[in-house]
Structure 1
Amino acid sequence: MGRRIVIVGNGEVPQGAAEAIDAADMVVRFNECRNFGSSGSRTDVVAVCNTGRPALTMLSSPEWRASRPVADCREIWSVRDPEKFRALHPALMLTHPELTDFCDDYTDALAAFAGDIGKTHVIIDRSVHEAVDAALVPFDPGDYVVPSSGLVVVASVLARAEGAGDDVVLTGFSHEGWDGHPFAAERRLIDSYIAAGRLSRLQRTDFVSPPEGA
């Protein structure tokens, strides 16, 4: 039997799901872990956007640094490979000159912070990002800047989980937000993974107890 891994996006989670999430073998959350509490409290991994304003905001925030998800986790994952984003920057400045700080890299600062508080720091390799770009093509992503951190993390977890027989479950993924991510195509890609049995979304049947005597 493999592990049950729950990847918790920052969107809405089903009411009453916290206990089922906390019962997982591994829980991955993102950035500020905005639904922490309503989506349970277990946190094994905090996956962070390690470039641009999100990274700078988190690193500059004493509240984030001292937050319970960060304190409780075992690993901090940097979702954006620095080499990949250095390579993206010149073309991005031609197509999206307003994104002047989008590729600013804070990976070393996050690694140092992780080391200072006794956490393992992991960089998701650029090959995962590039595999996600290729997987999105059949789903008509249109013009976009980069895949979302959520989709990159899902792809990274799936790549390791399938060989180990792990059960990967998503919740808190609304597939909405910044228009630089191809959210409509991402939803269709995730739905294709679900149809193929590669992962699932958390359902009420995962955490509603059977009637007494059943």
Structure 2
Amino acid sequence: MTGGIPDLGPIRTISIVGNGPVSQADAALIDAADFVLRFNSAPACGAAGQRVDALMLNRARVYMSKRINPLALHRSPEVWVNDIEENGRVDWLFERECRPRYLGFGPVTRARAHLKEFDALEQSNPTSGASIIAEVLDVYPEAEIHLFGFTHQGKQHTHDWDAERQWTERLCAEGRIVRHLTPGPRARRSLTGRLEYAFRFVQMRARHYLFNKILHSSASTKRRIFGRQ
């Protein structure tokens, strides 16, 4: 097993925010944690809480900076890639906005070990959410882990959503994690938040266009990220 999350210091509470719906009532609770982790496009950042201490990507999304929430990219000090660097580097924009950190095979390996008990399909890959939950459970067993926006469903057929749902439900029953399914209206951005989102979006797209279309060709950019085929 190689790689894993960095030393986060003396943390007591961790908010792990998925891409599913999050209630407005949970926004303050998300930001109150010692560490806030979000995933991939991080759509709820700026609405369901303002903080993001790390943004986690899977390898399939290393070239996605045009589609990511610009607030999350701007605010996150680090982007964590759930893979080794040799399998794909993050887009250039991530490296200018926040520091990339490649977690290696450690989180995925830990998640597979946990999910094996629930007869997860051998050919399936754990989601980034399952990977980081397994990692945090093993590395920070005393921390309170709070999940938001986890619905255990998606379009990707490479994940065993049912096995991950069963595993999460058992962890909740054992009191090892808390999954928040708070009723109420979904979190929405304030007027100030919408204006900041628009500004960061224009800024991010302009930088991306300048670098990829003017300073470099799209083909050369992809070769730098993915290597020569």
TM-score (norm 1): 0.71
Q: Which amino acid aligns with 2:146?
A: V
Alpha carbon RMSD of aligned pairs, Å? 2.4
How far the C-alpha of 1:19 sits from its partner, in A, is 1.3
- Structure 1 residues without counterparts, runs of 5 or longer: 84-104, 206-214
Deviates more, 1:195-204 or 1:71-80: 195-204
Q: Distance in 1 between matches of 2:102 and 2:52?
A: 18
One-letter amino acid of the counterpart of residue 116, structure 1: R
CA offset digits 1:38-60 (Å, max 9, x no partner): 31111111001223xx322x14x
Question: Cα offset for 1:26?
Answer: 1.1
The one of 68, 78, 92 aligned to 2:71: 68
Q: Would the aligned equivalents of 2:16 and 2:146 in 1 still touch at CA under 8 Å?
A: yes
SS of corresponding position for 1:40: coil
AA aligned to 1:68 is L
User: Cα distance, 1:2 vs. partner?
Assistant: 4.2
CA distance in 2, matches of 1:166, 1:136: 21
- Report how many residues are paired: 173
TM-score norm. by structure 2 comes to 0.67
Q: State how far apart, in whole Å, the 2-side matches of 1:173 and 1:36 are.
A: 15
How far apart in 2 are the matches of 1:179 and 1:129? 17
Query: 1:192 maps to which residue?
Result: 170
8 Å CA contact 1:124, 1:156 repeated in 2: no
Report the identity percentage: 29
Listed as ranges, the gaps of 5+ residues in structure 2 are 1-9, 184-229
Q: In structure 2, what residue type is equivalent to 1:168?
A: I
1:208 maps to what in 2?
A: none
- Describe the shift of the 1:68–1:15 C-alpha distance in structure 2 as closer, same or farther (beyond 3 A): closer
Q: 1:157 aligns with which of 129, 136, 153?
A: 136
